Structure 1
Amino acid sequence: MSAHLVFRPVTHETQADFEALFSARGSPSYCWCMAWRATSQELRDAKGPARRQQMLGRIAAGTPVGLLAYRDGTPVGWVSVAPKAIFRGLGGPLPEPNEQAWSLTCMFVPRPLRGQGLAHELIAAAIAHAHSGGATVLEAYPVDPDSPSYRFMGFVPAFEAAGFAHAGMAGTRRHVMRLAL
């Protein structure tokens, strides 16, 4: 599958593709990947339409938000990856001096395309993107495969396969996993 995938950051130029992916049936349009980004002011209106506008505002401002995966020119996946400092409440260790931590907080693949290894490709692309953006460590917050919640953050075995190491827990379900870049 990777031979047919192209990854592009979400920017003004790719915003329409991002909106199309998030507007499709079964997408996370209730959240727009704002769960870990929203400020306390933005949390006052946490419904889908407001979250969409909040995310679009970040894209318009040039704030890094993540990558889209394309197959044959069509967006087929999303991974939220950006500097950890723009998120809130993720948990995990405080950055070491001179450490540039980025966070991978969410992945989305439309249901018909799941089970094809796309999550592994999204993780690999996020690693490369974080590294090229100056990150010295990439942090992720996956759950066990049988977890009833936070499944959009990915599963521990996929991150283990990518070389991430366990660094603790954030709450009762989310593992904190880190990869030195």
Structure 2
Amino acid sequence: MDPSDDVRIVPANEASWADVERIFDSGDARRCRCQRFKVTEWIWRDSTLDERLAAQEAQTGCGTPGPTSGLVAYLAGEPAGWAAVEPRTAFPKLRTSRIPWKGRDEDKDDPDVWAVTCLVVRKGFRGRGLTYPLARATVAFARERGARALEAYPMVTQPGKTVTWGELHVGARQVFEDAGFAQVTHPSPRRFVMRVDLTR
């Protein structure tokens, strides 16, 4: 099912914090609160859930004008999905991760390159293709805010290999292909760096 006709996607600061919390109501998303690439140390050992909650609330800026850390998707009026999209420099752990940089020689501190690091679909709304319109919306969102390029770090599933929902928080390759991203590198058997040029 393509939910595009019944989906509305807004910057997180135009949504309520209560709606964001409803999206992050179960599983790994509930614990991580989209902080995996935000923290500089090991997420579970060096931060508490209360600290991650407070950080996410501050980052989203729900209900206030100004910058925000992502997008909120509504399906039939219900908060159903999330995409983390910001300047790449807003994710300290991306800077030290091997995946984004293997085989690349690029300025890690370029503020005009943005990144999509996480797609979350609320329990009860999964399996409806909601990540597709979310990924497409990240492109328009980054372009409107002056980004020169937008990256994602998705994975592919392999026959016979178990993939947990938590692993796929980075998104699936085909979702970003649909949104116009092209492969930059293939740093590991299951992971890709994909990018869309926003200057055209």
2:139 counterpart of 1:157? no
Which residue matches 1:21? 23
2:183 counterpart of 1:179? no
Which residue matches 2:53? 52
Contact 2:139 2:179 in 1 (8 A): no
SS of residue matched to 2:193: strand
Which residue matches 1:106? 118
Given the two structures, how large is their TM-score scaled by the length of structure 1?
0.84
The 5 Å alignment of 1:43-82 reads 45-60=46-61, 63-82=67-86
Relative distance call for 1:112 and 1:45 in structure 2 (3 A) is same
SS of residue matched to 2:175: helix
Report the AA paired with residue 145 of structure 1.
T
Contact 1:10 1:65 in 2 (8 A): yes
Contact 1:26 1:110 in 2 (8 A): no
Give the drift of 1:65: 0.8
Relative distance call for 1:96 and 1:130 in structure 2 (3 A) is same
Relative distance call for 1:12 and 1:161 in structure 2 (3 A) is closer
Contact 1:103 1:139 in 2 (8 A): yes
SS of residue matched to 1:89: helix
Tell me how far apart the structure 1 counterparts of residues 46 and 67 of structure 2 sit (CA, whole Å): 21
Give the drift of 1:73: 2.7
Count residues with an aligned counterpart. Answer: 180
Given the two structures, how large is their TM-score scaled by the length of structure 2?
0.77
Query: Which protein, 1 or 2, shows the higher relative CO under an 8 Å CA cutoff with sep ≥ 6?
Result: 2
Unaligned runs of 5+ in 1: none
Report the AA paired with residue 7 of structure 1.
I
Report the AA paired with residue 19 of structure 1.
E
Relative distance call for 1:97 and 1:18 in structure 2 (3 A) is closer
Contact 2:89 2:111 in 1 (8 A): no
Deviations 1:101-129 (A, max 9, x none): 11000011124322222111110111111
Q: Which deviates more, 120-129 or 141-150? A: 141-150
Match of 1:132 among 136, 144, 149: 144
Which residue matches 1:167? 184
SS of residue matched to 1:52: helix
